């Protein structure tokens, strides 16, 4: 919004939440913490902002990120232009007037020349269809709709379903409070330590002095975060050197630095096995019961092909007497009942249930809005076989409509803040370009979209990413078309392609001139 307003445009933002902050507004569950370092997970568009704001620690907790986002909203005077508590239900293109009519759940409608869809990649929660949930007598929660007043688990028996990034973060917090925590694990996940710590004043000074160079490196990088690798294949190192290198990175903490150690960890199964076995070794060292440790050892997918989780205390938590691990891969969850959960093997008496079961990712929020383009074509129909876009930012058949971090862009496989900024600047420049040249409508061509989709898929198939049944491919949502959604060609190369499209007068777009 700030970028568009600074370009002289009139902007109205609609936000379903009662506050700003998006994912950091909704995901206020205990233990929520960013797994990208604060110095990367922050805006770069204004050097004064990065000098004025001081991050307290390496990996900021949710309240700090939310404070930062509120600060940004105030600092740039954005609040009067954001309509909170308002959900967009539909947006319909008028071909005669060449504008969108946006309908909201307060019964209002507004028109706009352009629609920028920034509904979030991880905003539509997924609650599995568990028969009998309505009969459960206790309380149940989904982590992304956590009660803002908090939940007291003292003296309660709690069931946690889901062991992804969220489940791994919330579990130790519940375990510290509850009488007993049952963790229902379907797929064991890789997790590496955060080694989170507060910044000292001299570190903060050094970070602020280095911002310009740091941001430049981030923009050129693969993940939107500068990571220094060894430049070697994991397979050309001796096992002893490899172990030492992994151990040093494990001690330093963070998922991206570990995955960036060797050039082939995300492309070669044999190379990936070396880091997978290293992590399994750390799990076995940490968890005292060998049978629990084996169950926690991930084997179902290559490291990094699902989001690499980060936690300093998840695996050690299983040494507590009030925590048990339930393997719902071998004995699936079959139902909820009034007193708890039932698996194929046993009943578990529970007072509360926590679903850390993720999201209808990347396309979920967008597909719940009725986006109707020229000729009455709906986006839901256009994406029935899976999402297609040009650069993850525009869709053929939907003029003057843009996506922020849409499918086909680095989005969720990158530092989201940096990728959001890059998309926002691309969209702003394109809108300004149309205004300067009397362009009434701009739309991606079918050809450009098909070529881009093929490119996104081709690059993904060269990696290990498609080998996991992850939310990156929509595998977590029953019936969702299986398409690998993020662009894995790297943030730097992606930016170059966007820049050259713009420099060529928006190659791959059809421009319709007229008033």
Comparing CB distances to ligand N01, the nearer of 301 and 398 is 301
- Alpha-carbon distance 169 to 144, whole Å? 13
Is residue 476 part of the contact set for ligand N01 (CB under 6 A)?
yes
Are residues 255 and 192 in contact, defined by beta-carbon separation less than 8 angstroms?
Answer: yes
In the complex, what is the shortest distance from the CB of residue 133 to ligand N01, in angstroms, rounded to a whole number? 11
- Which stretch in 201-209, 222-230, 356-364, 399-407 sits in contact with ligand N01 by CB under 6 A? 356-364
Whose CA is closest to 218, among 227, 209, 206, 210? 227
Comparing CB distances to ligand N01, the nearer of 167 and 373 is 167
Tally the C-alpha atoms within 13 A of residue 175's C-alpha that lie toward its C-beta: 21
In the complex, what is the shortest distance from the CB of residue 157 to ligand N01, in angstroms, rounded to a whole number? 18
Among 123, 166, 268, 434, binds ligand N01 (CB under 6 A): 166
In the complex, what is the shortest distance from the CB of residue 294 to ligand N01, in angstroms, rounded to a whole number? 17
Site size for ligand N01, by CB under 6 A? 27
The pair of structure tokens assigned to 88 is 């967009």
Are residues 122 and 403 in contact, defined by beta-carbon separation less than 8 angstroms?
Answer: no
Is residue 417 part of the contact set for ligand N01 (CB under 6 A)?
no
Phi-psi region at 332: left, alpha or beta (left = phi > 0; alpha = psi -120 to 50): beta
C-alpha gyration radius of the chain: 23
Comparing CB distances to ligand N01, the nearer of 72 and 333 is 333
Is residue 257 part of the contact set for ligand N01 (CB under 6 A)?
no
Comparing CB distances to ligand N01, the nearer of 49 and 300 is 300
Is residue 160 part of the contact set for ligand N01 (CB under 6 A)?
no
The pair of structure tokens assigned to 98 is 């060449």
Q: Which residues contact 431 (CB under 8 A, 6 or more apart)?
A: 4, 7, 9, 114
x-marked contacts with ligand N01 along 118-147 as a string, rule CB under 6 A: ----x-----x-------------------
Is residue 171 part of the contact set for ligand N01 (CB under 6 A)?
no
- Which stretch in 31-39, 235-243, 256-264, 451-459 sits in contact with ligand N01 by CB under 6 A? 31-39
Among 38, 39, 42, 169, binds ligand N01 (CB under 6 A): 169
In the complex, what is the shortest distance from the CB of residue 122 to ligand N01, in angstroms, rounded to a whole number? 5
- Only one residue has tokens 């496989």, namely 413
Is residue 357 part of the contact set for ligand N01 (CB under 6 A)?
yes
User: Strand 352-355 relative to strand 157-161: parallel, antiparallel, unpaired?
Assistant: parallel
Among 163, 389, 405, 409, binds ligand N01 (CB under 6 A): 163
Comparing CB distances to ligand N01, the nearer of 271 and 468 is 468
Are residues 323 and 168 in contact, defined by beta-carbon separation less than 8 angstroms?
Answer: no
Is residue 411 part of the contact set for ligand N01 (CB under 6 A)?
no
* Number of CB atoms found within 10 A of residue 245's CB: 20
| DSSP letter, residue 510 | E
In the complex, what is the shortest distance from the CB of residue 346 to ligand N01, in angstroms, rounded to a whole number? 15
Local structure of 21: helix, strand or coil: coil
The partner residues of 183 in beta bridges, in order of sequence, read: 160, 325
Site residues for ligand N01, 308-337, by CB under 6 A, read: 310, 328, 333
Quote the Cα angle for 420-425-426, to 5°: 100
Whose CA is closest to 487, among 422, 405, 417? 405
List residues binding ligand N01 (CB under 6 A): 33-35, 122, 128, 161-167, 169, 184, 186-187, 307, 310, 328, 333, 356-359, 412, 471, 476
């Amino acid at each position: 919004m700030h970028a568009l307003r600074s370009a002289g445009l009139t902007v109205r933002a609609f936000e379903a939440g009662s506050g700003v902050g998006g994912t950091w507004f909704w995901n206020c569950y205990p233990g929520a913490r960013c797994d990208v370092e604060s110095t990367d997970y922050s805006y770069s568009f204004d050097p004064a902002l990065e000098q004025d704001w001081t991050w307290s620690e390496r990996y900021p907790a949710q309240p700090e990120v939310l404070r930062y986002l509120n600060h940004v909203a105030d600092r740039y005077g954005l609040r009067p232009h954001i309509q909170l508590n308002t959900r967009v239900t539909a947006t319909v293109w008028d071909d005669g007037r060449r504008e969108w009519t946006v309908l909201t759940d307060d019964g209002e409608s507004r028109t706009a020349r352009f629609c920028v869809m920034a509904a979030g990649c991880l905003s539509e929660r997924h609650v599995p269809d568990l028969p009998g949930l309505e009969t459960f007598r206790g309380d149940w929660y989904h982590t992304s709709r956590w009660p803002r007043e908090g939940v007291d688990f003292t003296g309660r028996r709690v069931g946690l379903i889901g062991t992804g990034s969220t489940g791994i973060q919330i579990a130790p917090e519940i375990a510290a409070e509850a009488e007993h925590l049952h963790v229902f694990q379907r797929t064991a996940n890789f997790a590496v330590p955060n080694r989170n710590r507060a910044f000292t004043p001299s570190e903060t000074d050094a970070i602020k002095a280095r911002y310009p160079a740091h941001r430049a490196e981030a923009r050129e990088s693969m993940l939107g975060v500068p990571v220094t690798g060894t430049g070697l294949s994991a397979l050309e190192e001796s096992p002893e050197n490899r172990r030492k290198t992994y151990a040093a990175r494990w001690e330093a903490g963070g998922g991206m630095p570990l995955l960036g150690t060797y050039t082939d960890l995300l492309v070669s199964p044999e190379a990936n096995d070396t880091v997978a076995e290293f992590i399994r070794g750390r799990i076995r060292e940490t968890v005292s019961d060998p049978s629990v440790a084996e169950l926690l050892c991930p084997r179902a997918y290559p490291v990094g092909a699902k989001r690499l989780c980060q936690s300093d205390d998840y695996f050690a938590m299983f040494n507590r007497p009030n925590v048990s691990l339930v393997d719902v891969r071998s004995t699936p969850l079959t139902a909820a009942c009034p007193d708890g959960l039932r698996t194929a093997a046993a009943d578990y008496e529970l007072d509360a249930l926590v679903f850390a079961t993720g999201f209808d990712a990347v396309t979920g929020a967008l597909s719940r809005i009725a986006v109707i383009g020229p000729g009455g074509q709906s986006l839901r129909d256009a994406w029935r076989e899976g999402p297609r876009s040009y650069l993850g930012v525009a869709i053929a058949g939907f003029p003057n409509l843009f996506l922020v971090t849409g499918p086909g862009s680095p989005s969720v496989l990158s530092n989201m803040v940096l990728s959001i900024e890059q998309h926002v600047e691309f969209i702003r420049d394109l809108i300004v370009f149309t205004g300067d040249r009397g362009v009434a409508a701009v739309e991606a061509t079918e050809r450009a979209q098909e070529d881009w989709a093929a490119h996104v898929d081709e690059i993904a198939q060269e990696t290990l990413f498609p080998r996991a049944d992850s939310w990156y491919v929509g595998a977590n949502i029953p019936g969702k078309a299986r398409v690998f959604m993020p662009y894995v060609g790297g943030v730097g190369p992606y930016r170059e392609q966007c820049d050259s499209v713009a420099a060529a007068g928006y190659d791959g777009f059809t421009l319709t001139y007229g008033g």
